[in-house]
Structure 1
Amino acid sequence: MYNPYDRQGFPGFPGGGFGPGGGMPPGPPPGFGGGGAQAPTGPPPSQIPQQSPSLFAVDPGAISGCLFRFTYVWLNNGNSFWFYPTFVGRTSVAGYRWRPRQFRWVYFGIDTQRIASFSCR
């Protein structure tokens, strides 16, 4: 079965996520059920958790324990942000990323290999 979130980025959005050449629409791609999950109705927690060192690549099975929970994500490139995951695939995760300057949640997806560590509440 075709999974639009595995490895190749997102259809119509080369590179997937908010990286170079990437960018996501405000909601899930057309035709993707995603469980009908909505973005949180308010902002994420104000306190950012401490990063714990990760010795291994992030496993989709591990991050699936954070589904529908406020999750703080640290990327390999040094960026970090609040995330509300609603979908976990074999090699990717999608959900809503908090955009503090815009004070809103934006639909977002990323390859799990780009994630250095995460912490969910």
Structure 2
Amino acid sequence: MDANYIDSYYYPRFLDSQFPSPSFPGSPGGFPGSPGGFPGSPGGFPGSPGGGQQAPTSPPPAFIPQQQTATPFAVDPGAISLCLFRNTYIWLRNGSSFWYYPIFVGPRSVAGFRWNGRFWTIFGIDTRRIVSFTCF
């Protein structure tokens, strides 16, 4: 498997530093969006509306948008925060691209759900790995 893919597929720093590793649904502590969520939050990711956010219930749009002008530096968290709770298409520095549904933006990371072609999976990414994005 490509090392860049493995390296980019991790929980963002805020999860590693503030919370223990998430457990699976049904186990103590729950999983983001389930009752219990992370310690210190009322279910789900910190900062999400209503205290918790479930994965989207429908698939993303069936098209791939045209890539916007790539930025030479890290993506600004303020800019990507405008895409919170919206279908967002992301292009990474390693050439990967995918539909994403961000629910939390930190100083250097974004957390949310990534579309794998069949269903949404929890996913976090460092904003320095993002070349460009567009949301709908």
Pairwise same-fold verdict (TM > 0.5): yes
Deviation at 1:53, TM superposition (A): 1.7
Instruction: Tell me the distance in 1 between the aligned counterparts of 2:16 and 2:114.
Output: 16
* Residues 81/9 of structure 1: CA separation in 2 closer, same or farther (3 Å cut): farther
The question of whether the paired residues in 2 share the 8 Å contact of 1:92 and 1:110 is answered with: yes
Deviation at 1:52, TM superposition (A): 1.2
Instruction: Tell me the distance in 2 between the aligned counterparts of 1:113 and 1:50.
Output: 21
Kindly report the root-mean-square deviation, in angstroms, between the aligned alpha carbons of the 2 structures: 2.5
Structure with the bigger RCO (C-alpha within 8 Å, sep 6+) is 1
Unaligned runs of 5+ in 1: 14-24
- Quick check: which one's strand share is greater? 1
Aligned length: 105
Unaligned runs of 5+ in 2: 1-10, 26-30
Counterpart residue type for residue 61 of structure 1:
G
Q: TM-score by structure 2 length?
A: 0.67
Counterpart in 1 of 2:99? 82
Instruction: Tell me the distance in 2 between the aligned counterparts of 1:71 and 1:92.
Output: 15
Q: For 1:1-121, what aligned pairs fall within 5 Å after superposition?
A: 5-6=12-13, 12=21, 27-28=31-32, 30-31=38-39, 32=41, 33-34=44-45, 35=48, 36-55=52-71, 56-100=73-117, 103-121=118-136
Identity of aligned residues (%): 57
- Quick check: which one's helix share is greater? 2
**Moved segments of 4+, more than 6 Å:** none
Which protein is bigger by CA-based radius of gyration?
2
Instruction: Tell me the distance in 2 between the aligned counterparts of 1:113 and 1:47.
Output: 25
Q: TM-score by structure 1 length?
A: 0.75
Counterpart in 2 of 1:22? none
Counterpart residue type for residue 42 of structure 1:
S
